[in-house]
Amino acid sequence: MNIAVTPPVDKPGSNQRPAMYYYDHFDRDFVQERVAEFRNQVERRLSGALSEDEFRPHRLMNGLYLQLHAYMLRVAVPYGTVSSDQMRQLALIADKWDKGYGHFTTRQNIQFNWPQLKDVPDILQALADVEMHAIQTSGNCIRNVTADHFAGAAADELEDPRPTAELIRQWSTNHPEYTYLPRKFKLALTGSTADRAAVMLHDIGLRIVKNPEGDIGYTVIVGGGLGRTPMVGKLVKDFLPRADLLAYLAAILSVYNRYGRRDNKYKARIKILVHETGLEAFKAEVEAEYAAMDRSGTNADPAELARIAAYFASPVFETVDAGDLEVHKAAHPDFARFVDTNVAPHKANGYAIVTASIKPYGGVPGDVTSAQMRLLAAVADQYSCREMRISHEQNVIFPHVKQSDLFALWQMLKTDDLATANAGLITDIIACPGMDYCALATARSIPIAQEISKLFANEERQKLIGKLGIKISGCINACGHHHIAAIGILGLEKSGKESYQITLGGDPTFSASIGERLGPGLDAEEVPHVIDSLVNIYLQQRQGDELFIDTYRRVGQAPFKPALEREVEDGSDI
Amino acid sequence: MALISEGKFIPDIWHHAAPEAAIADHTILPLERIAEATGAFGVLLPNDAEIAAIKPFLGTVSVIAINFPAFTDGRGFSLARLVRRAGFTGELRAFGNVLPDQYAAILACGFDTVEISPERAARQPEANWTAALGGRDHAYQRGYHTKVSILNRRRAAK
Ligand code: SF4
């Protein structure tokens, strides 16, 4: 498989190749160097020359975790963008070295749960062959940068955030100063007026904005995060001129690297530093470092960002109308439902953005078989400029689809259970791996998601409920992002038994808020019914087409309490 | 202790101050004993030292060693950059727990030498450091002492 040869500038926007970044020989040499290095480290581990302790940091820097049953390899999908050729290579990896499937994560990556250590160097080579890698998908370093999954396609976008994200990806790769940080460090970007990247909830969130003079720059948010101590990020810079981005990021990282806590790993994220230092004092530290540093010696040239941006030049969109879209919708109510929920407005007339659901009713959220990967790739080849996105909701996005192709695309997706009409609805559940895979889990999360998904499978009822996010984590590390769900579920362990806490009122967007605990923990069997009661209370309370979060903010938690109390009083008839 | 320079173990004319003992020439002192310095002297900095603390003797100190209490503690990398930025042109040492795998980053941040314990030197012999010096040519950052800055190369290619 070789997609690496086409230079980016031959025919920008010609639709001959996906509009995404391609490696030049520096990038290729760099990744190849890393594959060779890791192959050597694995050989030394297998021969016993390296102890597990000594091997650990090396494998983590290459995305290899030791889980409950086996190694897990987390492959980086930079800002979620993946070509159809890359997706087919992921399918090949799943078949050849795993059990025929993979798992899309909440950070737009893909994980393989069953690789053998001896095979990992070959897997990394297979990834390098299609310009992919697993570098810095774990460890206390700057992790894979995430971005709006509708980037470059959304109707509400000021600028495609991916060129900036790629610039940051390169700058943060193997950084000599910032690779042994107090803790992991995550960045997210958006270039839209709507926040689909949760920029308020990352170590650094960047929003592309235009100032009154018409210049493009960044609003910088620092210190958001989930985990044990969830916090909404704070504004540290209203408008950062575009050319100064890397210097400013370096100033933040420098302050964090020097002053972030290292005495307690649960207090080591930058959010705690910002919180304990105080926002104004933290800002002053960053500004002092920014003023003292050699900014021009740190920043990339504007020409470098322009070089990267050229790769992302928009495909050439044709002048098209919606064709028979309305006719098909009228004839097929299930297709009409799919269009209602899984299709979003595109910046070009006659086009649409489509979400393929990786959340079939009763399925495992984010799990995808190799056959499904190949089908997704085929759909992208045929209908979406050979390109896809992994969303942090663990779905797959086709960014550039002609509206007149929607019906054919839907039929194709349906053949392998990828057309569930539930994007953004109550069954579009995010769940971490939990007890089924994760060594840190205190409870199961996947089976809970499956039960809730089955309970709400009726599509008319889902439509009535409308947009409502449920997110489930299997321990307080909160990888399932339960804090920012309208309804969050946290699985804990209490006297040897799984116990589930419900939180309400989380919001992942610019108006971010952390969900509040509803009451005491529940047994696993009680969870779906309590969710059902909560939804019924919401339906009674809501005014017009108010979202759950708005109802909750208006009426408060009190009206929702009875959902729990009923369970306590007459738990026997559940 | 073993001293590494340019991928080779080399003899060390410096020694560390022993507790209580009088200070001789060519001694690396802990920061709190800097007043006792005599002749050519060095200083061992904890990795959370502030630049203000070394300003008074920046012009006279010959060696600055920065302590790495654990290889996972990256504060020393930032401190090294700041020490260089403050104008220090003498020998800058990474002292303590660092791995050959970190050698490229150590040099990139402005260190000249690495000083490790005999135990570590036995486990990570000279060949590891020599090999580490040869690996990893390419870096995406500017402003560090890396062999090849990809950004600068790309600019030059235009
Ligand atoms: S939230 Fe806990 S159980 Fe779930 S993936 Fe993260 S660490 Fe594992």
**Which residue ranges have their beta carbon within 6 Å of ligand 1?**
A 432-434, 438, 440-441, 473-475, 477-480
- Collapsing DSSP to helix, strand or coil, A207 comes out as strand
- Check whether residue A174 and residue A32 sit in a common domain: no
A156: contact with B, CB 8 A cutoff: no
The answer on A559 and A447 residing in a single domain is yes
| pLDDT of res. A566 | 56
For residue A339, tell me if it sits in a domain.
Answer: yes
Give the per-residue pLDDT at A51.
Answer: 79
Q: Report how many domains make up chain A.
A: 4
* Interatomic CA distance for residues A479 and B47, integer angstroms: 32
Protein residue closest via CA to atom 2 of ligand 1: A475
Dist CA A271 CA A227 (whole Å): 11
Length reported for chain B: 158
Res A437: pLDDT: 86
Q: What is the dihedral of CA A436, A437, A443, A448, to 10 degrees?
A: -50
Number of domains in chain B: 1
Question: Which of A541, A542, A512, A518 is closest to A531 using CA atoms?
Answer: A518
B74 touches chain A (CB under 8 A): yes
**Tell me, what amino acid is at A158?**
L
3-state secondary structure A223-286: CCECCCCCECCEEEEEEEEHHHHHHHHHHHHHHHHHHCCCCCHHHCCHHHHHHHHCHHHHHHHH
How far, in Å, CA of A352 to CA of A403, rounded?
6
**CATH code, domain carrying A279:** 3.30.413.10
Choose among A364, A414, A436: nearest CA to A394: A364
Residue A375 lies in a domain: yes
Tens digits of residue pLDDT in A532-569: 999 999 999 999 999 999 999 999 999 999 998 754 44
Question: Ligand 1 pocket: which of A475, A481, A489, A492 to mutate (most atoms <8 Å of CB)?
Answer: A475
**Number of helical (H) and strand (E) elements in chain A, helices listed first:** 19, 20
Low-confidence ranges of chain A (pLDDT < 70): 1-16, 566-574
In a shared domain, residues A361 and A454: no
Beta strands in chain B (DSSP E): 2-5, 8-10, 15-16, 27-30, 41-45, 63-68, 91-96, 113-116, 138-139, 148-149
Distance separating alpha carbons of residues A203 and A193, to the nearest angstrom: 20
A556 with A436, same domain?
yes
Question: Under a CB-based contact definition with an 8 Å cutoff, are residues A383 and A408 in contact?
Answer: yes
* Segment (H or E) for A103: strand A101-104
Q: What is the predicted pLDDT for the residue at A11?
A: 44
Nearest CA in chain A to B158: A303
Do A195 and A509 touch, CB atoms closer than 8 A?
yes
Give the pLDDT confidence score for residue A250 in this predicted structure: 98
Tens of pLDDT along B108-149? 999 999 999 999 999 889 998 998 888 767 789 999 988 778
Instruction: Please give the Cα distance from A518 to A537 (Å, whole number).
Output: 14
Q: Which residues contact B127 (CB under 8 A, 6 or more apart)?
A: none
A447 in a domain, yes or no?
yes
Pairing of strands B63-68, B91-96: parallel
Please name every residue paired with B139 in a beta bridge, in sequence order, or none if there are none.
B149
Please report the pLDDT score of residue A15 as a whole number.
Answer: 56
- Which residue, A348, A383, A414, sits at the end of a domain? A414
- Centre a 10 Å sphere on the Cβ of residue A229 and count the other Cβ atoms it contains: 16
Strand, helix or coil at B138?
strand
B3 φ/ψ angles, rounded to the nearest 5 degrees = -110, 135
Contact A446, A433 (CB under 8 A): yes
C-alpha torsion A26→A27→A32→A37, nearest 10: 90
The answer on A241 and A119 residing in a single domain is no
CATH assignment at residue A409: 3.90.480.20
Q: Is A179 on the interface with B (CB under 8 A)?
A: yes
Nearest CA in chain A to B101: A58
pLDDT of residue A10: 38
Chains A–B, number of C-beta pairs less than 8 Å apart: 93
Token pair, residue A87, equals 């997706």
Question: How many other CB atoms are there within 10 angstroms of residue A171's CB atom?
Answer: 23
Domain-embedded: residue A317: no
Structural domain contains residue A441 = yes
Instruction: Check if the beta carbon of residue A78 is closer than 8 Å to that of residue A145.
Output: yes
CATH of the domain at B125: 3.20.20.70
Query: Can you give A116-136 as a three-state secondary structure string?
Result: CHHHHHHHHHHHHHCCCECCC
Residue A432 alpha carbon to ligand 1 centre in Å? 6
Task: Tell me the two tokens of residue A76.
Answer: 């980086």
pLDDT digits (tens, 9 = 90+) for B14-60: 999 998 888 899 999 999 999 999 899 999 999 999 999 999 999 99
Alpha carbon of A78: minimum distance to chain B alpha carbons (Å): 16
Domain membership of residue A365 as a residue range: 325-414
Helix A333-342, helix A406-414: angle, nearest 10: 100
The 10 Å CB-count burial string (b at 16+, else e) for B89-111 is ebbbbbbbbbbbbbbbbbbbbbb
Using the beta-carbon criterion (under 8 Å), do A177 and B78 form an inter-chain contact?
A: yes
Q: Are residues A434 and A397 in the same domain?
A: no
Contact of A293 with chain B, judged by CB distance below 8 Å, is answered with yes
Instruction: Give CA–CA dist A127/A115, Å, rounded.
Output: 14
The sheet with strand A64-66 has its strands ordered as: A64-66, A71-75, A110-112, A101-104, A367-369
CA torsion sign for B76, B78, B81, B84 is negative
Domain membership flag for residue A112: yes
Same domain flag for A470 and A494: yes
Residue identifier of the C-alpha nearest atom 6 of ligand 1: A479
Q: Which residue of B has its CA nearest to A263?
A: B73
Asked whether residue A355 is domain-assigned, the answer is yes
Q: Residues A40, A172: one domain?
A: no
**Residue A113 · residue A79 · CB < 8 Å:** no
* pLDDT for residue B136: 67
pLDDT for the residue numbered A486: 97
Of A251, A280, A311, which closes a domain? A311
Range of the domain at B117: 2-157
Q: Is B3 helix (H, G, I), strand (E, B) or coil?
A: strand
Which residues does A540 contact at the CB level (< 8 Å), separation at least 6? none
d(CA B25, CA B17): 10
User: Could you tell me if A117 and A193 lie in one domain?
Assistant: no
Burial A96-113 (b: 16+ CB within 10 A, else e): ebbeebbbbbbbbbbbbb
* Of A231, A257, A170, A253, the residue nearest B72 (C-alpha): A257
* CA A441 to ligand 1: nearest atom: 3
User: What angle, rounded to 10 degrees, do the helices at A245-259 and A162-172 form?
Assistant: 50
How is residue A200 written in tokens?
């308020």
Query: What is the distance between the alpha carbons of residues A339 and A333, in angstroms, rounded to a whole number?
Result: 10
Q: Are residues A297 and A173 in the same domain?
A: yes
Determine the distance in angstroms separating the CA of A568 from the nearest CA of chain B, rounded to an integer: 48
Question: Which amino acid is present at B13?
Answer: I
Q: Does A462 touch chain B (CB under 8 A)?
A: no
CB-CB contact of A158 with A209 (8 Å): yes
**A3 part of a folded domain:** no
